[in-house]
Chains A and B, each alone.
Chain A
Amino acid sequence: MALSLAFHPVNRILSSDKTNLEGEVLTVNINELRDHLLEDHRLESVDLEIVYPGDRCRVGYVFDVLEPRAKAPGDGPDFPGILGPLAPAGRGTTHVLRGAAVTVVDGGQPGGELGYASRRGGVSKVLEMSGPAAEASAYGGLAHLVVVPHAFPEVTRHAVLNSLRLASVKAAVYLARAAAGKTPSYTEVFDLDSSALEQRATAPRVSYIGQVHGHQHGTETDEHILYGGNTVGMMPVLLHPNEWLDGAVVISYSWGARGLETYFHQNHPIILDLYRLHDAGEIVLAGAVATVSSDRRDEIDRNSMMAANIAKWDLKADGVVLTKYVGGAPHTDMFETARVCEELGIKTVALVSDTALDRRWESATLMNIPGVDAVVNHSEGVDVSWPANQVERVVAGNPEVVSKLAQLRELVAVNVCGVANNQGASRLRSMLV
């Protein structure tokens, strides 16, 4: 399975009467895109805004961030099972607008004391485009097309979230189609079978076991996560690293807030790093396993056993990297999977997230399990903040959020999109001192 990513750098997005990519300038026919998104009859209106690095602009609350990508004509559907018909992702050529992003804003139900309603309402994540918070964010340096869908008031909350998801992938594909037929500035090929390096014959086999969702907050019937499925009752499955990178997975509706965006499924830092080591002959990337964090005890045990079994007996892995979905409960599934892997003789490393408010070691020790001793700790940034820049423009889903965001005096890292990340992108580490 070979995936060819054709990169087209973008440094400007301009409104125009024609959607086109000229050099590094993407022009967008805003009305055409709006009409395209409004084909979803649940939406009453859609606001579209362009924001740049350095703009004194704040955007919130962010539902998801995506990289604009589109399959080359004839190479398969985009976001199969979600947008396009079901077909394997991860093969052929995909055009990528590097430097650009589609950021979708959730206009509904903000609030609650964490910034989100008690059950997956609005999210409290903001996109900051200027100042130190923007510099610390993976998204502060990108040119964003911000999509703010407004659903009709009678549309139920889960259907609103579904309309946000559809709008996000539609906009991402619409923009990247401008690159079809253009010569990319460079191309990267992802092919596990490519060059059979000699040293790879003796290199350790490494797999990735990643949670694509967690069920602790409930899961909606229409929630697209894996090839359009909502992952309820899901057992671990083999998912080729290329499928992971190429639109088979998007984040769930909820809680974009804390370090999960589709952008980092498309640019999965762990898969990319394992590919790098594979191409250098240091490891054999032996495939990836997609799993979920369950809300049921029996499923936690079953999924952990099966994920470890796949890694051991199907992928013949010597080592695995494990990551979890956002929140506390998913640690359990991840550590249980790691424990079973270690029992089977597979060496494990796991990525945990630190949200301890009292900043004490004891609060970070809770989930430890004997034998699982290689753990990387990314901080969600509860103890990192920056003075908020005075902004000239706020892009938000409703007037209440506009006024809230305009008045912010301080930005805490946990609320800044692109700082903390559960997919391995973050440089914010929790240090034991």
Chain B
Amino acid sequence: MSKKEKLSIEKKETKRKSNYTIALAGNPNVGKSTIFNNLTGMNQHTGNWTGKTVANATGYFEYRGETYKLVDIPGTYSIMSHSEEEEIARNYICFGNPDATIVVVDATSLERNLNLVLQITEITDNIIVCVNLLDEAKKKKIEVHLEELSNILKVPVVGVTARKKKTLNNLLKVMRSVCEGKEGINPIYQIHYDEKIEKAIEQIQESIMEQYKIEEKLARWISIKVLDGEKRILKEIEKQLNIQLINHSKIDNARREALETLGEKGIYQEEFKERIVSTIVKDAEKIGKKVCQFGNKDYANRDRKIDKILTSKKYGIPIMIVFLLLIFWITIVGANYPSQFLFSVFGNIQEKLIEFATYIHCPEWLSNMLILGVYQTLTWVISVMLPPMAIFFPLFTILEDLGYLPRIAFNMDGFFKKACCSGKQMITMCMGVTKWEIF
């Protein structure tokens, strides 16, 4: 408890009114859930595969007298396409009205992560970039100039090592000042597309702002989507903002005109999307080059050598089998002792319960139903199931932290593909096997 007091964060179990809402966004595997858990004191399972946060997880915490609601949205590389996670993430950032959006990025692959950051800068000004895994980056001899990044993006940038709670203090401080409106007075970074595309965006933006009372930034973003012509996103925007876009004659006219002009200049609808994505990726590359400094590449080479062995034809699968068997063996053998212990404890209590039932002259049918039925079944299930789970999942987490799970998926994908699955299913299967072995 003392550690938590230092951070002056209090765990809140019950839902309560919050003063501020914070969204937590980021690529998959950047430590979003670790930050979420450390701030809220909750214990959401962290995993290493895409879309593991299927829905938004919500937690509460207190900092300096204010209650904050933290919403952990699904990890995605982008918020422009159709997958379920991306839709949930996009909808929350756009329409959830968070007071601030923290975008967690991985210091070891900043460039790729900046792609998402830039996409979010198109939607909201209240962004905090949280650079995580600085310790990993240091190990890999990558230096990230946080101040420079903040100067370019014109948003607060905080460096943390999520596993160490202490380092989150700074994030909290910045978060507070953003929520209270002390930051973000100046306009933040804006992506500039091709001159021709900018013109087209402007056209639509004007027509949207004529029709509806929408803030300039949001109108710009909607304009890009209108030009893009993705019906699903547009329909969602219509629903959320209660406006009409697709069948609105004036906007549709503006759209047609803009597309015509673009077409005359050689940019066709199909290409439009690619141009947008390319501009963002190139911007991310430019910024990444400015703020990251790479030391010698020895470390990456060592990693690559280990990877070569772990995925080789000869050793890849045997190593995997040994690893998994070892984990299963530890789980099965190790679980026996706590299982027996639980059995005997619950058994003793059961005897006492029966004695008590006889003592109060409880009718036999009732005591049998409650004690031999409900109680016994419940305790047996707990004694059998709980210990293996308590052993298996932490062990599996170690494999996750080592980054071995994606390697397993990589090794197995070829075989799983034959069954029209992906290698990722191997991990789900491992989980399944433990549950099966318990019985």
Q: Do A and B interact with each other, yes or no? A: no
Residues of B within 8 A of A (CB): none
Residues of A within 8 A of B (CB): none
